[in-house]
Structure 1
């Protein structure tokens, strides 16, 4: 595509009162406005990042694992998106019910511990895939 093509576009724009025109193909990106044509620079496409490896979300303390709060009833279905700090389970120690929060944004894919099981500090509770951001 030579300059003749761009000049023809500018002429058509002027004759028909078109203020702006944009064209993009595999090789170039052209923007025309007010009778001036400019070729936009192409930023190199970033490769798609590889999927994150599976991590385990571990118990922050000792207790009897519960996937849902006693007042909530059933736990949420998996897989599910979670935000940093979102409570993904509870650990009951005597009268205390302590939260097990998500360490970052990501996806809980599989629960590794059943409800009612005694877990210690660092026991894997869920398979977790950290967000790419």
Structure 2
């Protein structure tokens, strides 16, 4: 059996955010972790397959989609979630309050929300930087 299946497994792991994978059959025992697949019977410092290192994800800035008083949490929530944190596309990550209207700010993609750039309770205009995020790899 060739190594094509190993490459396919590594690609699936990367696409789905899986950090570790273990495979064992009658002939082989593999452990995949951090881009390398190691055969258990081999010395740990000799990977049989290694994915090339990827450049770190560039930070992106999420801009305010409209004007309002910035709130990182809903007024009824006790505490804001700690950063950095993983968020899913469409998840509410903040709010902009304009009068009695509380409009959600949504995550544009699956990403890591790393830093809040706007202060709580500050009036922000359209296009004001609210958060720094790092988009998840496809």
Residue number in structure 2 paired with 1:131: 136
Residue number in structure 1 paired with 2:74: 69
Deviation at 1:73, TM superposition (A): 2.1
* Aligned with residue 96 of structure 2, among 69, 77, 91: 91
CA deviation vs aligned residue, 1:35-60 (integer Å, no higher than 9, x gap): xxxxxxxxx75423221101111111
- Alignment partner of 1:110: what SS? strand
- Alignment partner of 2:96: what SS? strand
Distance 2:81 2:28 in 1: 47
Unaligned runs of 5+ in 2: 1-24, 31-38, 40-48
Deviation at 1:23, TM superposition (A): 4.0
TM norm structure 1: 0.66
Q: Does 1:120 align with 2:104?
A: no
- Alignment partner of 2:70: what SS? strand
Deviation at 1:132, TM superposition (A): 1.1
TM norm structure 2: 0.64
Structure 1 runs, 4 residues or longer, greater than 2 Å off: none
Structure exhibiting the larger radius of gyration computed from Cα positions: 1
Q: Residues 38-117 of structure 1 correspond to what in structure 2 (within 5 A)?
A: 45-117=50-122
CA deviation vs aligned residue, 1:54-80 (integer Å, no higher than 9, x gap): 111111111000000001122111111
